[in-house]
Structure 1
Amino acid sequence: MGGLLIVDDEVESREQVRLIVEESQYHYLSISESDTAQRGLLLLKQNRPSIVILDLSLPDMDGIQFGKKVLECNPDVSIIVVTHLKMFEMVQTVINTGFSGYLLKPLSKFELISALDRLLIPDLVKETTKETNYVRNAVSSSKPFELDLGNPIQSVISYIHTNFHEQISLNEVADRVYLSASHFSRLFKAEMGVTFIEYLTKYRVEQSKKLLKMTSLPIEVIANNTGFANASYFATTFKRVEGKTPSEYRSIFSNLLHNNGTG
């Protein structure tokens, strides 16, 4: 098991990460620190850590570019971003670049240890890789609508999967496949076994679950970027579908990882 490299120009932030790790079940990890990208790359080559904890605001290089260089040197390194930036576009960039987590400052011990659990518990490594790939697809940009007149419902399913974060209505998608709303609705239910709204809602909830697992983004940010009108509606819908609130789901998942790591 490799060590841990912290790249952050804030001394207090580096000390906080070090303290959290040293007081956790991962105290055995060797920890190296850097306040610049250039020194970070040097330590990466010298120590070959398995995890890099990275602040995006570095004095000598853009954090995303630094992360790309890290992955070029060693594609197996897991990168956890720790930042003050709450912009969803930044999360998209981080995930699409191949990073493994996005945590917000001020950093909480619970969130950092949960992220390390997800990366370091052997039984969950494959599942983590799957989740990373799923989330990359979940935050992909809108794509042009591709219509297969022989398979209108599957055309709509593909459209949902790439545009779920946008506002989508039954009338809109029915128009896209040149069907009346009522006829499209009947066809969708017959082919998929659920209504159009039920399918769309369930898919959005599934995408939100992946972001709840992988990031520490605020609930309202996740809601706004998975197609829900507001955080309140998101919470109500999520609980109806999953039987628990988004916050409860995030806590339960994190607790499960933590227990697996210490049990």
Structure 2
Amino acid sequence: MNVVLIVEDEILEREFLTMVVRDELHPEDLLLTCDSGTEAVKLARQYRPNLIFMDLMIPERDGLSTIEEIRTFLPHSSITILSAYSDFSYAQKAISLKVFEYLLKPIKPSALKEVFGRMLKAGVSQPAPVPTTADKKPAAESMETRDECSTFIEESIKYIEEHFKEKLTLEMVASKVFVNAKYFSHVFKKEMGVAFTDYIIQMRIQYACRLLETTNYQAYRISCECGFSDPSYFNRVFCAKMNMTPQNYRKYAHVVNQNDSASKII
């Protein structure tokens, strides 16, 4: 099995790393997270991770000195440094500590996946650790992360429902729930099963269908009412989603409503 340790004191960065890494792991693998150098050494001694992501600027002791101590008892673990600094002295020290990779923040999900994939291939799996009471902390932290994700997704959905008829971007919604835009995009798609932009379009098309069924508004007015600034773009999107033009949908809905009314009378 693989034992992965993520050491990052910024909660949003830690959640982002956790989400990306978890997608690449197997059920039997163990994922641990912490936010300080002291805790990192403690977890490393207890669980002996074969794969480690280490932020340089962490509380209590910096990332490099933490790696230096971990190397005394885990000389073969694959360690990737995460840093907002490209200082040569850091890189030089990292080389002496035989780190696997040196990633500069902000880190793209694709870059993280690529590096983690190489670490998985190069890493040596560890035997499964004997469960102890300390297992409760990583599990609790994982549950806390999921709860936080659910909370800001629920808040974002509520905001979208109230404002989808207006100009709305991913960055705007992410800022409303105080989440990094890239991380928000990743979590939103994972939780909702659809990308943010597609979700907005679905809501607008559903509203357009309701207006076509219940009003005599022209297509250009409906496009505006639904948040589309360009009527021709609205027509293209509507056709792609509904397999018919807005005008034909109105006719179709009218026929269906008449048939429903007739069946009720009979």
TM-score, length-scaled by structure 1: 0.44
TM-score, length-scaled by structure 2: 0.43
Computing the radius of gyration from Cα coordinates, the structure with the larger value is: 2
